[in-house]
Structure 1
Amino acid sequence: MDMKKKKIHYAWWVLVGLVLMVGLAKGGIMTAGGLFLTPVTEDLGIGMGSLTLYFSISSIVTMLFLPIAGKIIAKYDIRVILITSIILQAGSFAMFGLMNSVWGWYLFSIPMSIGSVFVTQIAGPVLINNWFKKHNGLAMGIMVAAGGAFGAILQPMAGNLILSGGWRSTYIILGVLVMAIVIPVVFLTIRMAPKQKGLLPYGMDAEQKIDETATKKSANTEANRGVTAAVAKKSSAFYALFIFFFFITAISSFGQHVAPFAMGLGYDVAFAGQAMGGWQVGVLIGALAFGVLSDKFGARNTAIFAMLLGLVPVTILILVPENAMFFTIAIAIYGFIVASLGTLGPLLTTALFGNKEYGQIYALAVVGLAVAGIVALPAYGYIFQWTGSYTLALYSILAMLVLNVIAIIFAFKGKKKLEQAGLWN
């Protein structure tokens, strides 16, 4: 009897699987891309703006595929989807190491971004929402923190590998490593919903023990609270959330330019890798902190705090970027702020619209993420290509942080309108 009580709920094993999948896919692939920009452009004679256009192609594909992805993940076996997706994402990343023309990046960014939609964006929030009724924010924070934890190890490793073995072999090593670990992990740990294991979500079975039928009814009621996707997408709250996703993604996208920014200031690729390791440590701490803070103070207040804190590192990067210590500290704080995208984005969506049709609403809202990628990533590259500096980009980021505070305030005013109209139930 006591042994049964102490048994670990399967939700935590799902989270372990997500930690490894998201951590390696983000920390080992998505955020590592920036380390390759300067070596590739110098070796192949490609302009920074031209190469970073592959980020725009990825974002366009993401934008087009996100609405479809929400339906696919609800219809088909989650393990088949995720194994296929990691092969597309990590396999395409490895193929970059064989390319001699910028067109190779343009071509393979398409399957890479399709895989990434499921692995790094949709699956985690949907699965955590399904499996965790209690500690939802903490679970989301742990998952996002995984990207920081793995990135803190893999970013410096990638920088040193590029320096010692070249960018080609590093692309291949990272891509193959991620596939080799993630595929068996997904197969062994990931399940779509608690009912597949004969369970209720974590935290649900602890609340009502007397009548199992009443518990299940309560679980279904709780799961269905909120607004429909049809109502949500017409609301001012949705447009404000879309703007939040757009700006926070544009802010986060600067991470791909940290390495060329550092090297443009005279630092080498090894230092850039170490700085990105600091970024990932910031992501790790920020993801955990934002998960805990949102559980205590709410997603709204935590998101506003994050945006205001973001003004600090950007100001440092504008004023004293040549100081190695201040540069590293600023990048680490910047990473801390960027964690708000993965942690607070899903939590804000739930806070604003509930769980009734969460997957569909979240998939629609994060189109703002894709749109920002289309615009911001190459824009930063062209700013550097044309001006030889990222100063203008940093001033733009300051403005976006302030605008996001306004967007959050308007989003929750929009939620009140939905509640007053009787549409949030």
Structure 2
Amino acid sequence: MGIRASFSVFYSHLVEVFSWGRGEAAVAQSISFVMYMAFVPIIGTLVDRFDPRKVVVLGVIICGIGLILCAFIKNLWTLYIYYGIIAGTGICFISIVTYSAILSRWFERKRGFASGIATSGMGVGTFLLVLFAERMIQIFGWREAFIILGIITLGVLLPTNGLFLRSKPQEMGLEVDGLSCSLSLDDIRKNDYRFWDALRTRKFWFLVCFASFALMGIQIILVHNVRFLVDKGIDVKIASVAFAVVGIISSLFRIIWGWLSDRIGREWSYSIGAICLALSALWLIFVYPENDLPLLPFCFVFWDRMGSHCSFFYGCGSRFV
């Protein structure tokens, strides 16, 4: 999440340096999501058949290499290939698909709350990487910043996932949710779906539609947010800070929304969150150079809604696995 969010900072600088159209440059992020849609079924199969840790490590390597290659961008096509295809593919392997599958093996009864805690790191990552990327660009330039970000991705995510990630609690002598041996996971999941059964349900296809439209709206804001605020007359540093700082707030809301979804249901919690997203997007209309106060409620509500998004898909999506 932090890597995707940091693209908005690079995007603003790339548009200025190369004098590209914004739509042309934003295609790179669109390509990364095309790669996401193409690889998600493959990643799901790999996670089921092999150690998820190997899938994550492979993704980290691909993502890190892609980010380093972005330092050698010369035209739109190299942007599309290095970021959209290569880095985008790597991000797919370390996305919500892989970790939701792992999480479903560890937690059952309080999966929403667990997913909230697990995804709270996304908000921290957004806070750190957006500010870090902007700072590195100011000091060294955008090419060097890409290299540094790629090296950090390899240097931090490779050892943490390779050494500490465990795909199931049994590897550590634990049981799912601390269950006793007399109560098996199969007993709890007796109402879960098999893949072909899920394809025949409206619930599954509604989930697919929700995911598609939600990600579409969220990514439009993530990609264009910094540049949009700059166009409004907001200084790029203030825009980056506003976008990053509130990412830390989302960490708290991910936990709250996860806890809430366990109690009122995924559908209700997500519906409330979707309304928050719509309101936050409309609120951007009121942002002007002489009136940047509306930035606060926008960032607060937008990242609040991101918390419900993650808890919903971690909780609901894993019901089909």
Q: TM-score range by the shorter chain?
A: over 0.9
Partner of 1:31, secondary structure, is helix
Give the conservation status (yes or no) of the 8 Å contact 1:286–1:336.
yes
In structure 2, C-alpha distance between the alignment counterparts of 1:185 and 1:167, rounded to whole Å = 27
Correspondence for 1:100 among 74, 80, 91: 74
Which residue in the other structure is 1:4 paired with?
Answer: none
Distance 1:51 1:320, change over 3 A: closer
Correspondence for 1:80 among 29, 45, 54: 54
Correspondence for 1:164 among 136, 139, 142: 139
Q: Could you list the per-position Cα deviations for residues 191-244 of structure 1 after superposition, in whole angstroms to 9, with x for gaps in the alignment? A: 222233333113313xxxxxx3x33xx322224532222122222222221221
Which residue in the other structure is 2:44 paired with?
Answer: 70
Instruction: Return the TM-score normalized by structure 1.
Output: 0.71
Matched, 1:38 2:12: yes
Correspondence for 2:197 among 225, 231, 248: 231
Matched, 1:124 2:91: no
| Deviation of the 1:128 alpha carbon | 0.9
Please give the residue correspondences for 1:48-59 in structure 2 after superposition, counting only pairs within 5 Å.
Answer: 48-59=22-33
Correspondence for 1:255 among 211, 219, 222: 222
In structure 1, C-alpha distance between the alignment counterparts of 2:91 and 2:36, rounded to whole Å = 8
Partner of 1:199, secondary structure, is coil
Matched, 1:219 2:193: no
Correspondence for 2:260 among 287, 293, 301: 293
Which residue in the other structure is 1:202 paired with?
Answer: 177
Which residue identity does 1:248 align to in structure 2? Answer: A
Which residue identity does 2:213 align to in structure 1? Answer: F
In structure 2, C-alpha distance between the alignment counterparts of 1:235 and 1:321, rounded to whole Å = 47
Partner of 1:310, secondary structure, is helix
Which residue in the other structure is 1:276 paired with?
Answer: 243
Which has more radius of gyration?
Answer: 1
Which residue in the other structure is 1:347 paired with?
Answer: 315
Which residue identity does 1:313 align to in structure 2? Answer: S
Matched, 1:187 2:162: yes
In structure 2, C-alpha distance between the alignment counterparts of 1:224 and 1:97, rounded to whole Å = 50
Matched, 1:316 2:283: yes
287-296 or 233-242, which deviates more: 233-242
In structure 2, C-alpha distance between the alignment counterparts of 1:87 and 1:221, rounded to whole Å = 38
In structure 2, C-alpha distance between the alignment counterparts of 1:199 and 1:327, rounded to whole Å = 45
| Deviation of the 1:321 alpha carbon | 4.3
Matched, 1:151 2:121: no
Q: Could you list the per-position Cα deviations for residues 87-113 of structure 1 after superposition, in whole angstroms to 9, with x for gaps in the alignment? A: 111221222122111111211221222
In structure 1, C-alpha distance between the alignment counterparts of 2:123 and 2:172, rounded to whole Å = 30
Partner of 2:94, secondary structure, is helix
Seq. identity, %: 22
Q: Could you list the per-position Cα deviations for residues 111-133 of structure 1 after superposition, in whole angstroms to 9, with x for gaps in the alignment? A: 22222122122221111110123
In structure 2, C-alpha distance between the alignment counterparts of 1:230 and 1:171, rounded to whole Å = 42
Q: Could you list the per-position Cα deviations for residues 338-363 of structure 1 after superposition, in whole angstroms to 9, with x for gaps in the alignment? A: 2322221121334xxx3xx41xxxxx
Partner of 2:233, secondary structure, is coil
Structure 1: gaps (5+ residues): 1-25, 206-211, 359-425
In structure 2, C-alpha distance between the alignment counterparts of 1:96 and 1:66, rounded to whole Å = 23
| Deviation of the 1:189 alpha carbon | 1.3
Which residue identity does 1:281 align to in structure 2? Answer: I
Give the conservation status (yes or no) of the 8 Å contact 1:278–1:328.
no
Correspondence for 2:301 among 301, 310, 333: 333
Partner of 1:133, secondary structure, is coil
Which residue identity does 2:174 align to in structure 1? Answer: L
Which residue identity does 2:314 align to in structure 1? Answer: P
In structure 2, C-alpha distance between the alignment counterparts of 1:270 and 1:238, rounded to whole Å = 42
Correspondence for 1:113 among 88, 94, 105: 88
Give the conservation status (yes or no) of the 8 Å contact 1:259–1:269.
yes
Give the conservation status (yes or no) of the 8 Å contact 2:117–2:255.
yes
Which residue in the other structure is 2:64 paired with?
Answer: 90
| Deviation of the 1:134 alpha carbon | 4.2
Give the conservation status (yes or no) of the 8 Å contact 1:82–1:119.
yes
Give the conservation status (yes or no) of the 8 Å contact 2:96–2:314.
no
Q: Could you list the per-position Cα deviations for residues 275-332 of structure 1 after superposition, in whole angstroms to 9, with x for gaps in the alignment? A: 1113412421221111111122221221121122233322321234442221233123
Matched, 1:243 2:209: yes
91-100 or 279-288, which deviates more: 279-288
Give the conservation status (yes or no) of the 8 Å contact 2:35–2:92.
no
Calculate the aligned-residue CA RMSD, in Å.
1.8
